Every structure is written in structure tokens, then in C-alpha cells.
Copies of this chain bind each other. A is one copy, B any other.
């Protein structure tokens, strides 16, 4: 292992000078800087992370708690992780992965062992037992999601009410006179991930405002059978008046393609016989058959905002006030599953 002492020896300076060259925390003569820098390059020196953390009380690591585990909504997770990792590296920080199945213990471990400087907590339930623990940690925590009681922790999330509104307003504007909202499988609803309620609230409020009747249907179980059952209920749910138009809003990202396929299989082609709007990432919507009109989830925007806020909390100087809740606006993109009109 190459240490800063080796660099110092090679450059003919003291260890502290090497440290100051790297941190830039005091002025160094050009000649000394040159010698030190070339020694660093020659030895390919990089500072030992443990020693640095021990002395500076900064690990340059961000803990990321991801929703792995039984019946977690894992679809569309990767763009979050990817963006978070990317933002961390931009600030020369790394990502330490902690899985949800560790529960609160994972959080206390991160803080008590000084494994990281800050924590990103994903997949927040409405009444999430980890929130009080997170709020008591010695390191800043940011939530991706919106619990009932954030206990002072900053939250970043998609504006799901707005997403529901967008979907319904699109259908209302294109002349639909009946709207069915297909929701999540029972287990997910039971976990009370709070975006479920927010999306519904936005959708039903918009439907009421536009005077369009709107029904909510959940999937009785996970998987294609659950989707089929929900769709049957949706299609049976009062045919629109003869010549009327039915719009289906699919809240569950994983159910979007199955709904399209199942509807087509029943001879009701999306975009010809009824409309479908899905809540899902653009990349998925482009890939469905047919390409589905979608309200995007904006995982990259949400993640970027979360990381921006996190680094602001970490910044010793800045310490500017941080918004308690940041909601990212979704976008609706019309594709092939909206009836013309």
C-alpha cells in the first residue's frame, strides 16, 4: 500500500504538505506543488479511506436503503439507483447498499459504525416504522417518498396527486365518458405505500371535477391472474353508453403491459376500442405493444433532487434552508393507446 508518507519522502517534503496539496487548504509554492503532484502521480497514490474517515469524521459514503425483499415494488428501481450513484460520484462520494429487509437495524448500523455521512431512504410507507429511527440518527437522512409524519426529515417524491389528475384530465379532454382506475395488487395496497392513496385522490378528484364517472378496481392478487380479474371487472363495470368511450388508467407499473395484452386478447384493442393510460417510465411506455399513453415517474428527476438536497445538508457552509417536501411534476405523453377524438 502506498501512503502519504511515501509520497512525502519521494517529493522531499513533509507528510502534512502532501495532505495540504491534496486538500488545497493552504497555499503551496508552485515548485513544491509540482514535486508533490508528480510524486502522487508516480506512485499512483490515493488516500486510505479508513484513515481519512477516522480523522476527518467524513466517510464520503452515502448509505442507500433499497426496497429489496418480499413483495417490494422493484420495477423501475434501477433508474433510481443509477442516478443516485451517478450524483454521488459527481461529488466523489460512494454508495453503500443496504436492503430494506434489515429494517431499522440497517439504519442504526450505518450511523453507529460511521459507515456513511448521510442516508437515502427509499420506498417509504405511509406509517413507516423506520422514520422515527431515521429521524434520530446522527447523520442527515432524506426520504424518497412521503410518509404521514416525516418527523422533520426532508422528502422528495413524484407529485402523485398531479399524476392522477393528469391521466384523468387527458381522458376527459379526449371525450371519454367512463373511467376505470386499475390499482395495485392487494398486498401492495395493504402495505400502504402512500402514493397509492395520493394517485387515487388526484384521479378521482379530477374525474369529479369533470363530471366523468370513475371507479377504482384493485388486483385481487399479484401476477397476470390478478390483472385479468381486475380488467374483467373494469370492462364489466358498466359499458359506456352506446357509442361512448371507456378510459382505463393503470396505476400499477407492472400491470401496464399485462392490461394491454389482456384487453387485446378480449378483442378490445387499446387505442381502437378503449383508451389506456399507464403510470410508468417513458422507456417502458415506448416498449409496450402498442406504445401506451403514459404519465412518467421521473425517477431521474426525483433522484437528482434528492441528492441535491442531501449534499446541501452535508455542505458545512451552505446550510441553506431545505424544503421539507419537494414534489416533482410528472409529464403525460400521448402515444397509441388514446382514442382519437
Contacts and interface: CB of A to CB of B under 8 A. Distances in A.
Interface of A: 1-2, 44-54, 59, 61, 64, 68, 74, 77-78, 81-82, 85-86, 89, 94-99, 102, 108-109, 112-115, 138, 223-224, 257-258, 261-262, 265, 286-287, 289, 291
A112 B51 contact: no
27 contacts: A44-B112, A45-B112, A46-B108, A46-B109, A48-B54, A49-B50, A49-B114, A50-B51, A50-B53, A50-B54, A61-B96, A68-B78, A68-B82, A68-B85, A68-B86, A78-B78, A94-B96, A94-B115, A95-B97, A96-B96, A224-B287, A224-B289, A224-B291, A258-B287, A261-B261, A261-B289, A262-B289
Contact of A223 (B48, B113, B286): B286
Contacts of A86: 68, 99
A99 B49 CA distance: 19
A99 B84 CA distance: 11
Contacts of A81: 68, 97
Contact of A97 (B94, B223, B257): B94
State the 10 A-B residue pairs at the shortest beta-carbon distance, nearest first.
Answer: A50-B53, A46-B112, A50-B54, A95-B97, A50-B50, A49-B113, A68-B82, A261-B289, A46-B113, A49-B115
Contacts of A2: 112
Contacts of A112: 2, 44-46
Given A97-B85, A115-B94, A50 B59 contact: yes
A117 to B, nearest CB: 11
Nearest to A61: B96
Contacts of A45: 112
Contacts of A287: 223-224, 258
Contacts of A85: 68, 97, 99
A87 B327 CA distance: 36
Contacts of A77: 78
Nearest to A59: B50
Given A99-B82, A114-B48, A289 B94 contact: no
A103 to B, nearest CB: 12
A94 B99 contact: no
B113 A48 contact: yes
B48 A258 contact: no
Nearest to A63: B94
Nearest to A43: B112
Given A49-B50, A112-B2, A94 B98 contact: yes
B289 A265 contact: yes
B99 A97 contact: no
Contacts of A46: 108-109, 112-113
B50 A108 contact: no
Nearest to A95: B97
Given A44-B112, A49-B50, 6 more contacts: A48-B114, A64-B97, A78-B78, A86-B99, A257-B257, A261-B261
